Structure 1
């Protein structure tokens, strides 16, 4: 009801992230630049961490929105799954048929799909949000996906997005190989007091307040 009183078109503060309200602090801009570079250069593994509410999901949506048209995207948000379910979710979001497929079939079809995209000069990206919920076993499965490659290029770019606890999980000895494959690691830090003021005015402006 307060929108009309304050001459706002929409509510300036909502719990659901919206790319329209993205406020790029210095930390956000740095992360966005690094991730764009990583995807363009096909570095393989990338990591984005930040506290709850720091803007990770909104930043990823903005990143995807600004990518080239040759990008093929699979976004995973449900990370409390089994190994086979994870591969199935990845394939399904890439647009592949997963009905009645076992894990071996899913992996084979994913590999064939990625080779096909490579031939078309497309750049497949896998974004796994809430990655701190992945078990070490599932993270190892994700690492194995990065083995899908040609003689000169990675067939799949992987972005792990999660809360700071994700770094603690990745620090486990059994995940050493995965850590070594992460080419770009970004962390979104809390905004400063000055940026907080800018953030409030930014959201009011986007909401329609003049």
Structure 2
């Protein structure tokens, strides 16, 4: 009997440790409603897809509350910014989840307002701080060229430099061609103006000649 009691005493701490909650979730109680919330993946890391998970139960009965947020609003908050959560029921009754990618380090919170069942709620739950991915990086990142041969980087730089020079030369050629076209257009305009003036002078000359012939004909007719 003593051996059995001793074995139980030794095993009890192990049993308690085994049933310790795996997630660092926080909770809030409002009337007969208990709300537990936290990250689905912990620790939460910046820029990594995660979920916010929420459990809603009745304190008096311990039963899960289904369709808990039919008449309640749930938002995730970071500082003065907030976003409505699109919660969907999880496989286990009373649990709800929403996907999210945290984009800033630090603490987030879930705020509840409205009515859960017959209970009015206006409370919030703080979430575990979002951490930098460097905490779990392995091996630690080096310079930005890590894993890329240095000669390849140099070749790419040379190619880019060559392309840049070609683009600049092409721009210069295009500008020269544009200037030449403009000059040609101006010369053509000047030539046309000169031709127009010569044409007018010719017409005047023809007119003067015709007039002279007419005068001469009149004079001859009078002598006759």
Would the TM-score normalized by the shorter structure come out above 0.5?
Answer: no
TM-score by length of structure 2 reads 0.21
TM-score by length of structure 1 reads 0.22
When you count strand as a share of all residues, which structure comes out higher? 2
Indicate the structure whose relative CO is greater, using CA pairs within 8 Å and at least 6 residues apart.
1
When you count helix as a share of all residues, which structure comes out higher? 1
